[in-house]
Chains A and B, each alone.
Chain A
């Protein structure tokens, strides 16, 4: 499976999903004008990837400086997709990497972490 790669812009993060290493990351700002359009290809890739039931541990490093409210909904959908996959037996860890001096970034991570059950959702202060 080809990796999913998207170069960062001022309002969208760098995305690199890699089906070989099972190490995936999103890094940067996330406030596109149209969040649905930005996230749609990511979801398509992830659905195919998760359907193949990767056997080894899967890691998502999420380092988002800021995300707008529409992206917040898309991120929740992404984590729910991972939660379901984790419930189905795939070992998935999300590392929510945030600036320790930014209380909002920490709080946002905590709010996602509250809903994680099968998914290992870790808060990592930088």
Chain B
């Protein structure tokens, strides 16, 4: 199959899904910066709303930096970290959906699902209070950042965040998280 045919097949699939952007490949801090600036420009230009552009940017950065911090295949290089990730930004009846997926080590799965299940059942005011108290307390031992990424995205999501964890092998699982912004 030539590149041309592959494009045709991909394009067909992406069109059906209302996809604005599909990215699959190595994620580095530079990729986060580039894709972040792209989505900020696009939302700012098309919707002319600074708050929504800032929300799209914030969710994209948190999603992709989670890949950098927690993906199972992350490598440390002299210039920073690199890991494989996938990002789909698509139109959604409620706004714009930013889905991000990456491989995780299976031992992280239960911790991730516990945290996300709690957040999905938490209302907006409680999320704000939770964000402030977690920020005050500081991260747990397993966090590589401040441990606030999921909370930050939950606050920006117009409906409860959905996720999927699929077993790939004895050690690995595929994790994908959907965040919908207005």
Contacts and interface: CB of A to CB of B under 8 A. Distances in A.
Interface stretch (A15-23, A54-62, A67-75): A67-75
B138 interface: yes
Contact of A35 (B58, B146, B151): B146
A33 B29 contact: yes
A114 B65 CA distance: 28
A105 B57 CA distance: 13
Interface stretch (B48-56, B90-98, B100-108): B48-56
Interface size class of A (residues with CB under 8 A): 20 to 34
Interface string B12-27: 0000000000000000
Majority DSSP secondary structure for residues of B touching A? helix
A31 B65 contact: yes
Nearest to A100: B50
B80 interface: yes
A65 to B, nearest CB: 8
B80 A33 contact: yes
Contact of A111 (B29, B61, B132): B132
Contacts of A11: 29, 32-33
Given A33-B80, A69-B62, A73-B139, A104 B33 contact: no
A76 interface: yes
Given A33-B65, A33-B80, A102 B51 contact: yes
Contacts of B81: 33
B152 A69 contact: yes
Contacts of A99: 50
B58 A33 contact: no
B149 interface: yes
A88 to B, nearest CB: 21
B11 interface: no
B135 interface: yes
Contacts of B151: 69
Contact of A76 (B36, B57, B135): B135
Nearest to B50: A101
B27 to A, nearest CB: 10
Contact of B65 (A66, A68, A74, A102): A68
Nearest to A114: B132
A105 B151 CA distance: 17
17 contacts: A10-B37, A11-B29, A31-B32, A33-B81, A35-B145, A35-B146, A68-B152, A69-B146, A69-B148, A69-B149, A69-B152, A73-B135, A73-B139, A73-B148, A76-B135, A101-B50, A102-B51
Interface pairs A-B: 10 shortest CB-CB: A73-B146, A70-B145, A69-B148, A101-B50, A33-B29, A103-B51, A69-B152, A70-B146, A10-B33, A102-B50
Given A69-B145, A72-B135, 13 more contacts: A11-B33, A31-B32, A31-B36, A31-B65, A32-B29, A33-B81, A66-B54, A68-B65, A69-B148, A69-B151, A73-B135, A73-B145, A101-B50
